[in-house]
Amino acid sequence: MKKILTLLFLVLGIATFAQTPIYLNSNAPVEDRVEDALQRMTLAEKVAIIHAQSKFSSPGVPRLGIPENWMSDGPHGIRAEVLWDEWYGANWTNDSCIAFPALTALAATWNPELAELYGKSIGEEARYRNKNVLLGPGVNIYRTPLNGRNFEYMGEDPFLASAMVVPYVRGVQSNNVAACVKHFALNNQEKYRDHINVTVSERALHEIYLPAFKAAVQQGKAWAIMGSYNRYKQQHCCHNQYLLNDILKNEWNFDGVVISDWGGVHDTKEAISNGLDMEFGTWTSGLNFGQSNVYDSYFLAQPYLNLLKNKETNEDILNDKVRRVLRLIFRTNMSPDLNYGSFGSPEHAAAGRKIAEEGIVLLQNNNGLLPVDIEKTKKILVVGENAIKAMTVGGGSSSLKAKYEISPLSGIRFRAGNKAEVKYVAGYESPATKEQDVKDAKEPPQKKIDVIALRNEAVAAAKDADIVLFIGGLNKNTGQDCEGDDRNSLELPYEQDALIADLIEANPKTVIIIISGNAVAMPWVKQAPAIIEAWYNGTEAGNALASVLFGDVNPSGKLPFTFPVRLQDNGAHALGDYPGDGENETYKDDIFVGYRWLDKENIQPLFPFGHGLSYTTFHYGKATADKNKMTADEHITVSVSVKNTGTIAGAEVVQLYINDKKSALPRPVKELKGFQKIFLQAGEERLIKFTIDKNALSYYDDSKSAWIAEHGEFEAWIGSSSADIKAKINFELY
């Protein structure tokens, strides 16, 4: 009897499986599932699946059991839940996330392994919250230090951004959550972002502004790309023929989904033809801001359906969009490998702290003032509003509802324990701002800030301290590091420069700690004995900072962008094209962005790209190569020994730059083409090897629409920053 029942169940199982639609068979190839589901969908269902149904979701196909898509703002944490048709918070009690460091901090680690850890951790948080698309990471190039959104990106160099975005994407998608890499493309300022038309050479586009996106697509296999608000070739980038169809889908063979930025769609016919796949956030009839629950009026909704029914557009184009959305769903919410994820966990907090600690950059440390010797330091004065100000909130769409946030002051006090007295005075204040994402939030009453009284109090306290820790910089208020607008100047706000100068005069043992996502001017740099760039470091920010200040962690961060002495030392500002005339902007700096511009003009930076000090020292040996000539089909291996010559363990980022001796087109003096972060014990020495192939030697010739590696002489430069080259070696491409 048992054998009969077993046979019966087996037969019934086979019969049931045979009747199961292919799209529901999680073991079937994704493309087979896509085609099976597509042929079962009605025209109305196809149109419905390519546009939003709420602020952050799009419909599935309920009749077929195909689930919805749910998006979450990133890239630093999973955004709190909002109301179905509002931007305001839904006031859930279980949506407090771990806030990870800003992407500038991640880039400053120069550690691809940490980028993968970051992506994996935030992907787990997204999966737990049933978000199958993370709206991040951002890889727009740092062109001007005034861009209010630079803190969300990975710096000024396309090679560094490419190397860091690929493992981030892979980490996120290991959780069956799509990484939506943004903002494609040329969204390099917030001022006029919704309509400015960018004119840029094909060469600069391919060499500077596209490589990180290309790497995310071709190496990271990103499942989604977000279009940008601005225009290029007079077309909005969310429906741009050249960017989305010609380059992304045809040249790069992107098989994922192109998602609009919220409010980035402007025309039905362009959206149909020019590469957009999913429409979100349109205001909302396309004409009126804030109109409610009119998702059927979206450009890719009823207007599109009407064109299809009237045979005014080709259903094949629609089918391509639907295939991409179905592919997204089968890769994420209908994947056979789904796990539950995890949320707000100690493991994620620890990952965030690790990233923060490795990203903090020691810019200056004269006379060995740092690390703080807690055994000899009994009176610590902490000055500055940023020591206590919450930095996980504000800044626009990246604002988070964090489970907790350790302030710098709390981290310092916890680390000092009962070994030292830690006193705090504000020193300066920023104007209060209304709470974001809260319905009917009102501007708080503005009290008059007595700048002089605050400064005098801090200076008086500084005279009695063993060490002063000034914690200032920028914040996420409008006009600082914040989406929607750019900074007004390179200088520190709220009269911090005058305060810093007075503090240093009152107590020469003053450490300046800048919290920001952007470079700032430092008119007091020659007087300041120690300077740290501490970024926006999320949930564990205060603990991470304290661990570096007190020497529990040896700093190893390196700048992912240049700190200029003055704004005019930046190419976009020196040439006067930023921010454009309100309608158009020409990138006159062309390929000479960041350190490339300073090298070209022989300008000394305040702090160079790739710069970062340690509490130990490193010695670089002589560079060697396995040969001095190569063909385009070969490669050269360049080696250099690096030794930790100090007394404590530490990490160094060894950087490879390429110099082209002579070329048909102008080239930068040097370009980053490799880096390795190495951890060395005191006295340990290691041989570092870099492989150089024709890709590292090539430039984009826009007259030929091709990458060219010219025959001739090159030089490999190896150093600890773009301005601190330790070794050079010549070789030839023949």
Write out the catalytic residue numbers: 261
What's the per-residue H, E or C state across 245-280?
HHHHHHHCCCCCEEECCCCCCCCHHHHHHCCCCEEC
Pairing of strands 379-383, 467-473: parallel
Of residues 109, 17, 72, the one with CA closest to residue 351: 109
Distance CA 444, CA 432 (A): 6
Count the Cβ atoms, other than its own, within 10 Å of residue 255: 15
Of residues 343, 366, 331, 656, the one with CA closest to residue 532: 366
Count the Cβ atoms, other than its own, within 10 Å of residue 436: 16
DSSP 604-663: PPSB-TT--B-SS-EEE---EES-SEE-TT--EEEEEEEEE-SSS-EEEEEEEEEEES--
Can you tell me which residue has the tokens 């890709």?
Answer: 695
Tell me if residue 729 falls in helix, strand or coil. Answer: strand
Of residues 367, 596, 570, 603, the one with CA closest to residue 486: 570
Q: What are the DSSP E strand ranges found in 142-270?
A: 178-184, 197-199, 224-227, 231-232, 235-236, 257-259
Can you tell me which residue has the tokens 């820790």?
Answer: 469
Q: What are the DSSP E strand ranges found in 507-575?
A: 510-515, 530-533
Can you tell me which residue has the tokens 């890499």?
Answer: 181
CB 482 within 8 A of CB 524: no
Q: Which long-range CB contacts under 8 A does 367-371 form with residues at least 24 apart?
A: 367/529, 369/467, 369/509, 369/511, 369/529, 369/530, 370/511, 370/530, 370/532, 370/549, 370/551, 370/615, 371/548, 371/549, 371/550, 371/551, 371/615
Distance CA 414, CA 615 (A): 22
DSSP-assigned letter for residue 672: E
Tell me if residue 226 falls in helix, strand or coil. Answer: strand
CB 113 within 8 A of CB 163: no
Residue 629 exposed, middle or buried by CB count within 10 Å (0-12, 13-18, 19+): exposed
Sign, CA torsion 543/544/547/548: negative
Beta bridge partners of 624: 639
Distance CA 417, CA 495 (A): 32
Distance CA 58, CA 67 (A): 9
Q: DSSP alpha helices (H): ranges in 435-536?
A: 451-462, 496-506
Distance CA 52, CA 37 (A): 20
Can you tell me which residue has the tokens 């200029």?
Answer: 564
Which amino acid is residue 418, in one-letter code?
A: N
CA distances from 375 to 369, 418, 488 (A): 14, 11, 43
> Dihedrals φ, ψ of 510, to 5°?
-115, 125
Distance CA 600, CA 620 (A): 26
Of residues 92, 116, 96, 122, the one with CA closest to residue 347: 122
Count the Cβ atoms, other than its own, within 10 Å of residue 691: 12
